[in-house]
Amino acid sequence: METVELAEVAAVLAEPSRAAMCLALLDGRAWTVGELAKAAGVGPSTASEHVTRLREAGFVAGAKQGRHSYVRIADPRVAELIEHLAQHAGHRPARGLKASLRARRLAFARTCYDHLAGTLGVAIRDGMVRTGLVSLDDGLTLTARGRAVLAELSVPVPEGGRRPLLRDCLDWTERREHFGGALPAALLGHAVAAGWLRREPHRAIRLLTPEPFARLGADLARAEVA
């Protein structure tokens, strides 16, 4: 039975258009079917069929806001599955200058569902631990100093909820951990809104203002990418 179920899950992502939609949705945002159609290079009706297949397989969930309908990754576990499959695909050498540049940008900073990954994401984790903003003594714990620095940067610290505030997430390009969880999601959202970061195509993230991340202890000596 497990063999059949595994084959069924693999078949969902075996179709290139559905795979393209899932990669687009890894930016953590909700997308319309029309936007996913453009991302996958297919027509709206075909996109709707693919979204239905993804929903039936538990990969995506629908969301409504007013008269508009959106699609997003169903939960962080699905995002991790897609990210790990992208990791395996990423082991193949990039073909051409454009693909190579895209790979460099993704390796530097990208979204991993709703939080930062890549060189920048790992640098933030390292910095927050090194400067005592996060303690490893009893799991991953945001310290009083960490809360104070985040408050100075106007980054909201989520309270309550079922999602962990911080958790380790293995970074497939750095081969080390970056932070996942509710706090990194809030940090990414605030950083984009405040103009510290800018979302680029294919879930790449461009660093615009290094200073706030330096306040979090991130060593930005490597934080330059074309």
pLDDT tens digits for range 156-197: 999 988 889 999 988 878 888 999 999 999 999 999 999 999
pLDDT (0 to 100) of residue 113: 82
Cβ contact 197:208 at 8 Å: yes
| Per-domain residue ranges of the chain | 2-75, 93-222
Q: Which residues in the chain belong to E strands, given as ranges?
A: 60-65, 68-73, 110-112, 115-117, 134-135, 141-142, 167-170, 177-180, 197-199, 205-207
Indicate if the pLDDT at residue 72 is higher than 50.
yes
Q: Which amino acid is at 220?
A: L
The half-sphere exposure of 43 on its side-chain side, counting CA atoms within 13 A, is 2
State the pLDDT confidence band at 141, using cuts at 50, 70 and 90.
very high
CATH topology of domain 2-75: Arc Repressor Mutant, subunit A (1.10.10)
What's the whole-model pTM score? 0.72
Instruction: Give residue 1's pLDDT.
Output: 47
Distance (Å, whole) CA 213 – CA 122? 12
Taking 80 as the threshold, does the pLDDT of residue 86 lie above it? no
Q: What is the mean pLDDT of the chain?
A: 86
User: For residue 87, what pLDDT band results from cuts at 50, 70 and 90?
Assistant: low
Over residues 92-125, the pLDDT tens digits come to 444 443 445 666 778 899 988 889 999 999 999 9
